[in-house]
């Protein structure tokens, strides 16, 4: 019932994150955007030494931050090969000033790199509704360029963190020595809708632009779009993939598989590092009338506050799961629903089984467990990666990133 047990591991994990593929440099420095008084990295840069093809998907939130809008233009205009990103301020709900600030960030990075502003993507993450403190960033682009390094992926991954507790990077090597690497951040406001949080991927494969975009959309669909922490879709979600072609071409299938693998791993790490998360819960729905129905049921369960609170309490509460299945906008027949925790069946035909409660508790005591819901109506299938909801999550979000307690 576990993930990935039915396929061979064709990719080899390698170190180096976004710098694992050849020809990419990365770095991150501390500018005091997050907190002037606390030295935490908050400005990141990734660049390809060679020209690239680029692909990206962005949030579907209708309130899209200026850096998202500008990066959409960059993607349409051409083939950017660098990404500048800051944390601590989302540059969202900042209007024309926000767009000017996003443009200035691209221009400053481009000047240091000897590129055109059109060659640079820009991303921001952090509090919504405050102007970016450009006075703290403007003078630092020389330092940022100097921080660029073949070993700079982790520093860049750190510099995009907000309430994340650890940097997230992952890379694989596929056929022909070709590599795909990435970094990501995200800890709250996580219910991606076609893109998510910030995730930057690089590859030294040669992939044409249309193929890269299609492969990116497909990989996002199977990874970042299958996770939820709190059901809130962000204004700044962005996934960018840069391909510099240094290592030559690759089969479409192998590339897609490798890209899926990196994105899925980063997505899992985002859930596992969700704000005050103690459980990583895979919600699998099968036997639905359609894949869409399966996804609706998985979403209902994975986003139910009451299910998530029960998981935090290590309570194998199948009744709450069944109630969420019941309100999903999908066809279900209560008398056919089976629910499993791990391999143990808690519910058969909508009713409690004889499985001892203590055995079920053993499963939900694990930091990672699998909930399977079989609707027994068809072949529809979906997987969603969720977390528990803790009192500490709420306590954190009543204080952090609040307008009241904002120090910056």
| 116 burial via Cβ count (<10 Å: 0-12, 13-18, 19+) | middle
Count CB neighbours of 5 within 10 A.
6
Beta pairing class for 280-288 and 238-243:
unpaired
**Residue with Cβ nearer a copy of itself (211 or 397):** 397
Q: How far is the CB of 3 from a copy of itself (least distance, A)?
A: 26
Beta pairing class for 198-203 and 238-243:
parallel
Residues in the chain: 408
Q: How far is the CB of 32 from a copy of itself (least distance, A)?
A: 21
| 134 burial via Cβ count (<10 Å: 0-12, 13-18, 19+) | middle
**Residue with Cβ nearer a copy of itself (127 or 159):** 127
> How far apart are the C-alpha atoms of 21 and 239, rounded to whole Å?
17
Helix or strand or coil: residue 39? coil
Q: How far is CA 102 from CA 65, 91, 97, 110, in A?
A: 10, 8, 9, 12
Most distant CA pair in the chain: distance in Å?
Answer: 69
Helix or strand or coil: residue 19? helix
Q: How far is the CB of 90 from a copy of itself (least distance, A)?
A: 8
Q: Which residue in 53, 125, 196, 233 is the catalytic one?
A: 196
DSSP 336: G
Task: Check if the beta carbon of residue 61 is closer than 8 Å to that of residue 193.
Answer: yes
Q: How far is the CB of 395 from a copy of itself (least distance, A)?
A: 4
Beta strands in 128-229 (DSSP E): 168-173, 179-185, 198-203
**Residue with Cβ nearer a copy of itself (179 or 191):** 191
Q: How far is the CB of 293 from a copy of itself (least distance, A)?
A: 12
Q: What are phi and psi of 391, to 5 degrees?
A: -55, -35
Task: Check if the beta carbon of residue 18 is closer than 8 Å to that of residue 153.
Answer: yes
Q: What are phi and psi of 395, to 5 degrees?
A: -60, -40
Q: What is the DSSP string of 206-257?
A: ---HHHHHHHHHHHHHHTGGGB-SSS---S--EEEEEE--TT----HHHHHH
**Residue with Cβ nearer a copy of itself (211 or 290):** 290
Q: Look at residues 216, 153, 154, 162 and name the one whose alpha carbon lies nearest to residue 185.
A: 162
Q: How far is the CB of 137 from a copy of itself (least distance, A)?
A: 20
Strand partners, 120: 82
**Residue with Cβ nearer a copy of itself (381 or 396):** 396
Q: How far is CA 201 from CA 171, 214, 292, 342, in A?
A: 9, 15, 28, 32
DSSP 402: -
- Catalytic residue status for 196: yes
Q: How far is the CB of 63 from a copy of itself (least distance, A)?
A: 3
Does an H or E element contain 323, and which? Answer: helix 318-327
Q: How far is the CB of 334 from a copy of itself (least distance, A)?
A: 5
Catalytic positions: 196
């Amino acid at each position: 019932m576990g993930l990935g047990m039915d396929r061979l591991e064709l990719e080899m994990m390698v170190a180096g994150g976004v710098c694992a593929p050849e020809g990419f440099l990365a770095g991150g420095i501390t500018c005091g955007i997050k907190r002037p008084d606390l030295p935490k990295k908050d400005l990141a840069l990734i660049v390809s030494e060679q020209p690239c093809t680029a692909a990206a998907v962005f949030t579907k939130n209708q309130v899209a931050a200026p850096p998202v809008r500008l990066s959409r233009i960059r993607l349409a205009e051409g083939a950017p090969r660098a990404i500048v990103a800051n944390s601590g301020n989302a540059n969202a709900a900042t209007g024309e000033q926000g767009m000017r600030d996003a443009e200035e960030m691209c221009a400053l990075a481009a000047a240091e790199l000897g590129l055109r502003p059109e060659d640079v993507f820009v991303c921001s993450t952090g509090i919504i509704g405050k102007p970016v403190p450009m006075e703290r960033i403007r003078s630092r682009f020389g330092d940022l360029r100097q921080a660029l390094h073949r070993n700079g992926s982790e520093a860049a991954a750190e510099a995009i963190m907000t309430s994340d507790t650890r940097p997230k990077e992952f890379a694989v090597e596929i056929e022909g020595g070709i590599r795909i690497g990435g970094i990501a951040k995200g800890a709250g406001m996580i219910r991606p809708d076609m893109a998510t949080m910030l995730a930057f991927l690089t590859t030294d494969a040669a992939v044409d632009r249309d193929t890269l975009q299609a492969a990116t959309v497909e990989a996002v669909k199977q990874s970042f779009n299958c996770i939820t922490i709190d059901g809130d879709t962000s204004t700044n979600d962005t996934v960018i993939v840069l391909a510099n072609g240094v290592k030559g071409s690759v089969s479409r299938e192998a590339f897609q598989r490798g890209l899926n693998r990196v994105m899925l791993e980063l997505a899992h790490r985002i859930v596992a590092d969700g704000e005050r998360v103690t459980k990583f819960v895979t919600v699998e729905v099968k036997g639905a009338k359609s894949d869409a129905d399966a996804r609706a049921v998985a979403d209902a369960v994975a986003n139910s506050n009451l299910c998530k609170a029960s998981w935090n309490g290590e309570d194998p509460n199948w009744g709450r799961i069944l109630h969420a299945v019941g309100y999903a906008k999908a066809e279900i027949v209560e008398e056919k629903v089976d629910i499993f925790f791990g391999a143990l069946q808690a519910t058969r035909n909508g009713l409690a089984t004889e499985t001892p409660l203590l055995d079920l508790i053993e499963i939900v005591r694990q930091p990672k467990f699998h909930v399977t819901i079989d609707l027994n109506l068809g072949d529809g299938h979906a997987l969603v990666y969720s977390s528990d909801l803790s009192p500490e999550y709420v306590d954190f979000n009543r204080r952090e990133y609040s307008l009241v307690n904002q120090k910056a």
